[in-house]
Structure 1
Amino acid sequence: MSTIDGLPPLRAVIAAHGLSAKKALGQNFLLDLNLTAKIARSAGDLTGADVLEIGPGPGGLTRGLLAEGARHVLAVEKDARCMAPLAEIAAAWPGRLEVVNADALEIDPLARLTPPIKVVANLPYNVGTELLVRWLTPPDWPPFWQSLTLMFQREVAERITAQPGGKAYGRLAILAQWRCEARIVMRLPPEAFTPPPKVASAVVQLTALPAPRFPADPGVLERVVAAAFNQRRKMLRASLKGLAPDIEDRLRMAGIAPTDRAEQLSIEAFCALARVLAS
């Protein structure tokens, strides 16, 4: 991989630019260019797509995305130290990489991207979940992106893809799976990173569905799910009593036993309850 774009190996790049990973920025660098290329390939055909990458760091995944044929890559990086190595990548791929030194939570990337758009990123651990929730809860659906291919701590990846009945199943699973196909496409051990994090990681792919699986008002569904899982050990008649004084009747109207607990309910059942509450 290091010979495909004529650029040096990532360890040499990091040494040349003094890029020690900063814990405050949630940085853990993935230096194996074979692995970054594999992540890029897991995002599917990139040749006709613009790609948004958050937290490129020294640019390992960026190089993989460009080598796999991404039409245009917008790389948003908060760490100013990474601008120089990313500029070297941009010079090696003229006109195909735009680098923005900004906080991903504060920038609107849409003005710089042309659909179809895919998001592919080894997300900084400290902002990964917040970014995901934003991408899953836009004002309108379908969203600006076709798919999200994102690296998370393995525990977060398992929460995104969890099924009813287990401890991992909760708000994140429902947000993701209500309007997306969600699956884990790769698992990586701590030693794949520099410095090694204390936890394993996994790459999740979410593909946007044209419409939600079941009808429901997004705001009402979010309130129901949040209330249910904030007190997940309680029966629903107790955890949801703040939503309606006659919550037991409304649960029964939705086909749900008041004595059920949140982790027992399917996404379809949560949507049915959201519709009853909205009416």
Structure 2
Amino acid sequence: MNRSPDGLPPLREVIAEHGLAPRKSLGQNFLFDLNLTARIARSAGKLEECDVLEIGPGPGGLTRALLMEGARRVLAIERDPRCLPALAEVAAHYPGRLEVIEGDALKVNPLEKLSAPIRIVANLPYNVGTELLIRWLTPAVWPPFWSSMTLMFQKEVAERIVARPGSKAYGRLSLLAQWRCDARMVFEVPPKAFTPPPKVTSAIVHLTSRPAPLYPARADLLERVVAAAFGQRRKMLRASLRALGGDAEALLEAAGITPTRRAETLDLGEFCALARALEAR
């Protein structure tokens, strides 16, 4: 039997042995290339003194890379019971360093099983990726339980996370991520890297949590202002912000913003000024 650099069988053999055909219903696209999974793991920074949370490990390609790169411990949440025997083999190869929870990442609370500092590293299933990201960006208390996140998304979603004012991709996700994080796109991953190849290019995004948000604002009010502004992004703000109730022009004036501007021209500081004006009102 061939062996990979970590002493375990190549992923193709693991998948064949356990009959792990990727399932579209679970948003599964498996990465076979261990050079690529190692590159993703290295993008997360030094892992020796960190616990790593991984969502949707599948047959364990990225999991193996995280352990090879020295992660103190990996906690992996996997919804597909078919993948558990393959992950158990990885856990046996790295005694005490990998724990696997079978379950839905949207319903499992992993915190009792993790010790700080914590990094999240995942090739997120396409069907839950954005929802998980928004949850991790909007906890009740900041700073969050994680210090950084290194995540794979469809390139289109990755572009929305890092977009700047004035671009088509700029919107709610950009503001939500950049208010509390330093967010950057690390590299793209072509469809042919996956089995089965998705119809879109993917990209790795690295987010580092800031100790405090970039500008003062109440999270719930910032969210309301951003949702109203981008809910009708082609309209001028004096029209789109009517959704907040009250006098939209007076609100804009209080924040020092011209009422005829459109949502995509405002930067993060201006949105936070609007949230503070809404709170004062």
The TM-score normalised by the length of structure 2 is: 0.98
Structure 1: gaps spanning 5 or more residues:
none
Partner in structure 1 of residue 50 of structure 2: 49
**What pairs with 1:217-228 in structure 2 (closer than 5 Å)?**
217-228=218-229
Question: Cα distance, 1:246 vs. partner?
Answer: 1.3
Q: Structure 1 residues 224 and 2 mapped into 2: Cα distance closer, same or farther (>3 Å)?
A: farther
Partner in structure 2 of residue 232 of structure 1: 233
Aligned length: 279
Structure 2: gaps spanning 5 or more residues:
none
Question: Cα distance, 1:5 vs. partner?
Answer: 2.1
Partner in structure 1 of residue 189 of structure 2: 188
Question: Cα distance, 1:233 vs. partner?
Answer: 0.7
Q: Structure 1 residues 158 and 2 mapped into 2: Cα distance closer, same or farther (>3 Å)?
A: farther
Q: Does 1:241 align with 2:247?
A: no
Q: Structure 1 residues 258 and 2 mapped into 2: Cα distance closer, same or farther (>3 Å)?
A: farther
Moved more, 244-253 or 261-270: 244-253
Question: Cα distance, 1:244 vs. partner?
Answer: 3.2
d(CA) in 2 for partners of 1:72 and 1:192?
26
d(CA) in 2 for partners of 1:189 and 1:33?
15
d(CA) in 2 for partners of 1:24 and 1:17?
19
Report if the CA contact (8 A) 1:48-1:71 is conserved: yes
Question: Cα distance, 1:12 vs. partner?
Answer: 0.6
The TM-score normalised by the length of structure 1 is: 0.99
Counterpart of 2:57, as a letter, is P
d(CA) in 2 for partners of 1:166 and 1:189?
23
Question: Cα distance, 1:2 vs. partner?
Answer: 5.0
Question: Cα distance, 1:243 vs. partner?
Answer: 1.1
The C-alpha deviation readout for 1:81-101, integer Å capped at 9, x for no partner, is 000000000000000000011
SS at match of 1:8: coil
Counterpart of 2:15, as a letter, is I
Partner in structure 2 of residue 39 of structure 1: 40
The C-alpha deviation readout for 1:150-181, integer Å capped at 9, x for no partner, is 00000000000000001100000000000000
Report if the CA contact (8 A) 1:5-1:92 is conserved: no
Question: Cα distance, 1:252 vs. partner?
Answer: 1.3
d(CA) in 1 for partners of 2:263 and 2:37?
38
The C-alpha deviation readout for 1:236-263, integer Å capped at 9, x for no partner, is 1111112132110110111111111110
% identical aligned pairs: 68
d(CA) in 1 for partners of 2:243 and 2:42?
47
Partner in structure 1 of residue 8 of structure 2: 7
